[in-house]
Structure 1
Amino acid sequence: MQPGLIREAIADAARAGVTLPEGIGKLNATGHTPDAVVTPHFFCGEYSVDFDKAMNRSLDTIELTCRVLVSRADDRSAQVILDGMLAGHGPSSLKAAIEAARGGPGEAALGGLADDLHVTRIQGYRWYEHQGTQYVGAELIIKIIGEG
């Protein structure tokens, strides 16, 4: 598996699959930690790789930490927008958008970049500072499995 390509494909899935409420605009999404954030912004951050989960390099796993940040211009409305993106389903759901890239039964995930992926949890719902600016946000943890 190629972590850089996987991160870009997950960002593409988030960007294409999330529909935000009218007046919010589109979700900005990057496969890397951006220098500057244009909210709302989803990005793929840190990851860890467990190699050789099966014999002969046939299986590796990646645990990817992604973040979503929204403007705190109005703390209540920002959290309403964030809550929609953290929901398990619905038009704004990041989980639904990302897991749609799993492909159909018997198909590889992310257009062949991985065998499967799963958004396993959300954590760290809090204020984040990025380049000196405060945002409300959360982390999504994604488990990705594929050939080593």
Structure 2
Amino acid sequence: MQPSAIRDALADAARAVVLPDGIAKLTCTGYVPDAITAPHFFPAEYTVDFDRAMRRSLDELEFTCRVLVSRADDRAAQRILDGLLAGAGPASLKAAIEAARGAPGEYALGGLAHDLHVMRIQGYRWYEHQGTQYVGAELVIKVIGEGST
């Protein structure tokens, strides 16, 4: 698996969220951006466990992705963030990303991986990015796939 392609595919999947009327569309990038256009989703750090099965047949990548929301109004920002972090619904990042798993028997992320799973939410707090404060959280996503590609 190629991490750059997986990162881009995760951002593409996250773009499917639908935020309530009056809220800016979720901006998504497959890289850590220099500047944020809030609300913003991006894969940040990742770890790789090689050789989870013999002969390079399976690697496991764990992505720590961030979603950052403008803090213009603390309460409103946290409500938007809570919608993005919900387990279901039109604004749910979990639902949007896991929809990219494909149908049973299909590869995930358009053929880039065997499967993926949004494992947990963590780090719900204030984040500073390039000197600006945002309310945000991290989503930890496990992606498994062919190690020899």
Question: Do they superpose with TM above 0.5?
Answer: yes
- The equivalent of 2:18 in structure 1 is 19
What amino acid is aligned across from residue 90 of structure 1 in structure 2?
G
TM-score (norm 2): 0.98
User: In the alignment, which residue of structure 1 is the partner of 2:3?
Assistant: 3
TM-score (norm 1): 0.99
Matched ranges for 1:1-148 at <5 A:
1-15=1-15, 17-148=16-147
* Distance in 2, Cα, partners of 1:65 & 1:30: 14
**Identity %, equivalent residues:** 77
User: Which segments of 5 or more consecutive residues in structure 1 lack a partner in the other structure?
Assistant: none
1:7-43 deviation digits (Å, cap 9, x = unpaired): 000100101x100010112100001000000000000
1:105 deviation in Å? Answer: 0.2
Secondary structure class of the residue paired with 1:100: helix
Number of aligned residues: 147
Alpha-carbon deviation of 1:44?
A: 0.6
Letter in 1 for 2:105: G
**4+ runs of 1 displaced by more than 3 Å?**
none
Instruction: Name the aligned partner's letter for residue 65 of structure 2.
Output: C
d(CA) in 1 for partners of 2:30, 2:123: 20
Secondary structure of the residue aligned to 1:37 is coil
